[in-house]
Amino acid sequence: MKFEKIRDLREDNDKTQTELADYLHIKQTTYSKYELGKINIPIEAFIKLADYYNVTVDYLIGRESKKK
């Protein structure tokens, strides 16, 4: 499953994959694979990203259309 919202939020906030990878304590290549849907994103990472962007996890996974 591809998670376009995490890429869109990153780009909208002028962040790089490296910055988000550092925040999540992972490699940039791993973060890239998250965005492309090549590997599953651990729930802990979803929660951290939702907190970082001040959105819900449901928004990140596409279950709701409003950020908050």
Tens digits of pLDDT across the chain (68 residues): 678 899 999 999 999 999 999 999 999 999 999 999 999 999 999 999 999 999 999 999 888 766 65
What local confidence, expressed as pLDDT, does residue 68 receive? Answer: 58
What local confidence, expressed as pLDDT, does residue 64 receive? Answer: 74
What local confidence, expressed as pLDDT, does residue 38 receive? Answer: 94
pTM over 0.85: yes
Domains defined for the chain, CATH in brackets: 4-61 (1.10.260.40)
Q: Is 28 exposed, middle or buried (0-12, 13-18, 19+ CB in 10 A)?
A: middle
The DSSP 8-state label assigned to residue 41 in this structure reads: P
